[in-house]
Amino acid sequence: MYQLVWRKSSFSTGANNDCVEIAPAPGGLIRLRESDDPTRVITTTPATWSAFLVSVKARPWVAPTALITV
């Protein structure tokens, strides 16, 4: 069985266990989770993850329309 190796984001320094963690997964996929609820895992592709990081680094960041709720 494959064991995920989680890495904490270097920007996650809170004492309240509020950390974003990432792990490479089989098939070239990427898994993401928030450390305060490790049972909720998001799976994405490297291309999608890269596009997300590019958009976040291009400040000011604007949430994609699909993420905006009224």
Instruction: Tell me the per-residue pLDDT of 21-63, one tens digit each, with 9 for 90 and over.
Output: 899 999 999 999 988 888 899 999 998 888 888 887 877 766 6
pTM of the model: 0.68
Q: How confident is the model at residue 69 (pLDDT cuts 50, 70, 90)?
A: very low
HSE (side-chain half, CA atoms, 13 Å) at 54: 6
Residue 8 has pLDDT above 60, yes or no: yes
Which residues have a Cβ under 8 Å from the Cβ of 59 and sit 6 or more positions away? Answer: none
Average pLDDT over residues 8-29: 79
Nearest-10 Cα torsion for 16, 23, 9, 46: -140
